[in-house]
Amino acid sequence: MIGFIGAGSIGGAVITGLIKNGFDEDKIVVKGGRSNRTKLLCDQLGFQMVKKVKQLADADVIFIAVGATALDNVLSELKEIVAGKLVVAFTGSASVTHLKQVLGSDAKVAHAIPNTPVKVGAGFTGITYSSDFTDDDKKKVASIMGYTGQLVEVPEDQLGILGTVAGCSPAFLDVFIEALSDAGVKHGLNRQLSYEAAIGMAIGAAKLAKQSELNVSALKDEVTSPGGSTIRGVAALEEYGFRNAVIKAVDAAENE
Ligand SMILES: NC(=O)c1ccc[n+]([C@@H]2O[C@H](COP(=O)([O-])OP(=O)(O)OC[C@H]3O[C@@H](n4cnc5c(N)ncnc54)[C@H](OP(=O)(O)O)[C@@H]3O)[C@@H](O)[C@H]2O)c1
């Protein structure tokens, strides 16, 4: 049995990814917040809902997906039942040190930052475990998160930037896809076809980049014939500061 506290944007995305990709909904118990968001999700997905944190006592892994302001209240309730459980917090401010401090030494804790593609089983989640996590504990968490995509262990000081590169950039890519689609419409494609082409390209190019032995720079070189249209487009991207804009976007996301 696994438990969730909070089923908003990221909690709901992880729960959806789990169930849509084959995790048994009868093995998921969710304690939601005050709104009817969790109930609406429950009606679609069929997991169990509970009203109190202590009703998650049967779960051996508990995921915390509440915002920073609700975190400490949730942790103080969780403390009563936490012995022997693995606790994975998605909350941005939930460092391993803070989780240990509040939950005490009985709790094995982890801090993870998923991205929204977890919802379709194509997520990329960075995770940092407390030092008492055993390899079997890590395997247990990985076997759950595996339903939602990739899980990568990193030192906690890299979790933030990994969360930005993988977690903020779906929105950056959405802006790129929208702009590419606008350009297609400007040059005569209808809107739907232009979106389909831009999205299909993004999925295909990412898959090729993942599966190819070549790095992305070499993949770009392969499609830029001398004097051709693609290298003219690449040069225009350089002229208008595309790379710099992407780096500045990450800088802006990192600097609160
Ligand atoms: N969104 C992302 O892509 C993303 C990615 C990685 C990490 N994070 C981090 O995850 C945290 C949550 O983000 P979010 O975007 O999912 O926020 P969100 O959409 O506001 O979801 C938070 C949920 O927590 C619920 N909640 C609040 N107090 C609760 C309590 N005492 N017991 C149970 N549930 C409670 C709220 O329920 P009600 O609304 O029903 O009251 C709400 O649905 C943040 O710290 C964020 O930085 C987010």
% pLDDT > 70, the chain: 100
Overall average pLDDT of the 241-255 stretch: 97
> Which atom of ligand 1 is the closest one to the Cα of 113?
6
2 confidence band (pLDDT: 50, 70, 90): very high
For all residues of the chain together, what is the average pLDDT? Answer: 97
| Residue 167 CB less than 6 A away from ligand 1 | yes
Cα–Cα distance for residue pair 222/137, rounded to 1 Å: 44
pLDDT in the model for residue 120: 98
Mean of pLDDT values over 51-66 = 97
116 lines ligand 1 (CB under 6 A): yes
Q: Of 32-46, 93-107, 128-142, 146-160, which gets the smallest average pLDDT? A: 93-107
**pLDDT tens readout for residues 124-158:** 999 999 999 999 999 999 999 999 999 999 999 99
Tell whether the model's pLDDT for residue 33 goes beyond 90: yes
% of residues, the chain, pLDDT over 90: 98
pLDDT, tens digit (0-9, with 9 covering 90-100), for 174-230: 999 999 999 999 999 999 999 999 999 999 999 999 999 999 999 999 999 999 999
Residue 106: pLDDT band with limits 50, 70, 90: confident
The H or E element that residue 153 is part of is strand 149-153
Question: What pLDDT does 32 receive?
Answer: 96
Nearest to 39 by CA among 78, 10, 8: 8
> Which atom, in ligand 1's list, is nearest to the CA of 37?
40
Q: CB of 141 within 8 A of CB of 88?
A: yes
- Positive or negative, the CA dihedral 163, 131, 53, 122 is positive
The domains located in the chain, with CATH, are 2-153 (3.40.50.720), 163-254 (1.10.3730.10)
Which atom from ligand 1 is nearest to the alpha carbon of 35? 40
CB 125 less than 6 A from any atom of ligand 1 = no
How many whole angstroms from 180 Cα to the centroid of ligand 1? 32
